[in-house]
Amino acid sequence: MVLQKLHGYRIIAVRNEMVSIWKTRGRYRKKMKCGYHKLLYHQRNKNETIIYVIKRLFGENISSQLIKMQRELIFRCIAYNVHTRINLLILRWFLHGLPLQNFKYTKKRYHKNIIIKK
């Protein structure tokens, strides 16, 4: 089982909180009845959102059929990571503005030899 071999965890929300633990069937459901971490329970939504965005940006079909050739999915994930990093850099640049140290503005004096007559 995945929980024992890979040391994974599953979080199942309890349907009926009013039912006592001894009436609940299943070892994992009883563990979840005793308590589970609410912040970990809502992490699945983030995973589903990322998969949805990758499918929307790069298409939902994988053209390769062999297992060795299915690196296409890995490249899509890398492309998504690069895409988000670039967007974050552009957003950070836009919100913070350009640093003034890089662009030193020097005034040129063209009116140096102008004579004012009264």
Query: Tens of pLDDT along 64-117?
Result: 777 766 777 888 888 889 999 998 888 888 777 655 455 455 555 555 555 555
Tokens of 29: 């459901």
Q: Report the chain's terminal Cα–Cα distance, integer Å.
A: 98
Q: What is the pTM of this model?
A: 0.46
Rounded CA separation 43/99 (Å): 37
**Is the separation of the CB atoms in 32 and 11 below 8 Å?**
yes
| Percentage above 70 pLDDT, the chain | 71
Angle made by CA atoms 66, 79, 75, in degrees to the nearest 5 = 15
What DSSP string describes 2-71? HHHHS--------S-TTS-GGG--SHHHHHHHH---HHHHTTHHHHHHHHHHHHHHH-S-----SSTTTH
Give the H/E segment covering residue 112. Answer: none
